[in-house]
Amino acid sequence: MASTPFLFCGPCETRKAHRQAMVWCSVCMEGLCKECAELHQSSKLSKDHTTFNEDIYPLLRPFLNDLTTECYDHKKKFDFFCQSHSTLCCVNCVTDTHRQCDVKPVDDESQSPRASIASTKLEDDLISVLERIEKIKCHRTDNIKLLNEQKDVLQSEIKNVRKALNEHLDKLEKDILDELIVGEQKHSLDIAQFLFDIDTKKQQLVDIQTISGCIKKIGSGVQTFLASNKLEKMFSKEKRVIEATLKENEGENLQLYLHLNTRIISLTNDIKSFGSIDTQEKPPPTAIPESVTRAENRNSTKSIASRVIETTDPNRVMLKVIKKIKTCKRKSRIPIDLRGCVILADEKLLFADWSDNKKLIMFNIDGTHNRDIGVTGKPYDITRLDGDRIAVSFPEDNIVQIFDVVSNGYPIYQNIKMTDQCWAIFYNDEKLFVGCNGHKIQVMNLSGRILQTVPAKVNTVYCVNANNDCVYYSDEINNTVYCCDLEGNEIWKFRDPSLKYPCALALQSRGIRVRGRKSLAKYLGNIFRWTTK
């Protein structure tokens, strides 16, 4: 199609006439000239067909031709959509390989809210990435101007100093000016090359966006659904490449600085260089957002609060037992009370024994007991920092200890004294989140300096987690899970009759898993699935 100067009218060609098409019908899959388009619009059979201008034909036609509605293996029409595998199926596919799956008719699925949401999400993601590209382009273009302005300023400074020097400095001046110009040109060329590359990627996204917009306007429900699936895959592939490119180039602005030798005026005979030109990276004037920024993440999380949380059939949540660890047959007079748990770098499991045994208990990956680690008090919760370093909370002693579980003697790296009893503990983004008495969660660095205090709606925080400037904690008494920002502002809260005494939180890519002391639950987006323990 790239070599065709224009699109011919299909009906006219059947009459051996060659007339340029003005529009394209996506249902009839042929071009129409002005006269044929008017007849096409007035016909009872085709008046509901949607047409679009022929100038979009070179982009849209190949894409529409690739939208197959027939199974490649069985040569039968795609009549079903497998929700379990997100794939189209014919009758034979359903019988052969998708008998146990959640299968829906394609016509029903194409009209479902799920299809509309997927199409809307694609549009939103495209807009988000394109806007991000434009912002980065503006910043990088401004960086070129800034580098040029700084070059002029520094060049003027160099020449002013040069006036006070004798002929001995002529060569040194030339050297430093050359270094300055080369540095500015190198960085400017690098940025210009980046802008060229990103423009190419941007056009690919614009093409996908254009196709998506046209499909939504002119395509049938099935076409829109099929197109959205294919466009989503195309977009995901392009997005990964663009994300990697943007991540490498969206960082700091390059700036040129002159380090002037202060002795150059009085000691001209001893000077061997005029100075040096350094490049420093500084944050741009306006922070460039990621594809999904933290603010957007918080906003999307806040929207959960306004959604209706649905509960599904408990039998649909299938939990697979990976390993069982026996803890009852221990050589100890005092029954153990396991609370916090972490997985170490070598995949060993380490538990905090909240009893008078005053120890941490380590198990191998196969579930066998490895050894006990004696500690100074009763450990309640535990979190892994880096390597084999861990942090442990001791509520009765009001301390948090950081030590290495591999080194002989388990040396304590840090002994952090708390003002209140400290219970839950979690490590994220080089910060410790410590749930304390007194309606608060203390955020501190590994030296024990308190960075922030997050107000909590529960007197004692026994369970805490954090990610992307969001803090999650539970209220065991009222069977509630809270999400708030670092200021303590509530983003959402979750409560369900099936969730009893929530005592553990785990963040996943698709949502949050919540373990109840008397139930086992999984919360995904606005869907809450649970099984009775």
Location of structure tokens 């803090």: 471
Is residue 263 over pLDDT 70?
A: no
Give me the amino acid identity at 388. D
Is 437 in contact with 421 (CB distance < 8 Å)? yes
Two structure tokens written together for 178: 């050359």
- Classify residue 149 as exposed, middle or buried by CB count within 10 Å of its CB (0-12, 13-18, 19+): exposed
Burial call 101-112: b when 16+ CB within 10 Å, e when fewer? bebbebeebbeb
**Looking at this protein, which amino acid is placed at residue 166?**
N
Domains delineated in the chain:
10-65 (no CATH), 80-110 (no CATH), 113-292 (no CATH), 304-531 (2.120.10.30)
Cα angle value 361/418/459 (rounded, 5°): 90
The answer, yes or no, to whether residue 526 has pLDDT greater than 50, is no
Closest by CA to 255, choosing from 322, 183, 158, is 183
3-class secondary-structure state, position 244: helix
Q: How far apart are CA 311 and CA 322, in angstroms?
A: 26
Q: What is the pLDDT of residue 308?
A: 33
Q: What is the mean pLDDT of residues 423-449?
A: 93
CA-CA distance, 167 to 328, in Å (whole number)?
89
Residue 422: its pLDDT value, please?
Answer: 95
User: Is residue 316 predicted with pLDDT exceeding 80?
Assistant: no
Average confidence score pLDDT of the chain: 78
Residue 71, token pair as written in the block: 């199974």
**If pLDDT is split at 50, 70 and 90, which confidence band does 267 have?**
low
Strand 527-531 to strand 310-311: parallel, antiparallel, or no bridges (unpaired)? parallel
The answer, yes or no, to whether residue 302 has pLDDT greater than 50, is no
SS3 137: helix
The pLDDT value given to residue 259: 80
Report how far residue 295's alpha carbon sits from residue 80's, in angstroms, rounded to the nearest whole number. Answer: 38
| 231-252 average pLDDT score | 78
DSSP line for 143-164:
HHHHHHHHHHHHHHHHHHHHTT
Query: pLDDT tens, 330-389?
Result: 566 778 888 899 988 888 889 999 988 899 998 888 878 888 888 889 999 999 988 778
Whether residue 405 is predicted with pLDDT greater than 60 in this model: the reply is: yes
Band (pLDDT 50/70/90 cuts) for residue 464 is very high
Mean pLDDT value across residues 297-309: 40
pLDDT(532) > 50: no
pLDDT tens digits, one per residue of 182-212: 888 888 888 888 888 888 888 888 888 888 8
Global pTM reads 0.43
Range with top average pLDDT, 15-19, 93-97, 231-235, 459-463? 459-463
Q: Which residues pair with 359 in a beta bridge?
A: 353, 374
Give the residue, 369 or 270, on which the prediction is more confident.
369
Of 221 and 35, more confident: 35
Share of the chain above pLDDT 90, in %: 18
Asked whether the beta carbons of 73 and 88 are under 8 A apart, the reply is no
The answer to whether residue 299 scores a pLDDT higher than 50 is: no
Higher pLDDT, 175 or 422: 422
Pairwise CA distance, residues 432 & 434, whole Å: 6
Q: What pLDDT is attached to residue 301?
A: 41
Angstrom distance (rounded) from CA 293 to CA 300: 10
Average pLDDT over residues 161-180: 74
Q: What is the pLDDT of residue 483?
A: 92
Task: Name the residue with higher pLDDT: 76 or 410.
Answer: 76
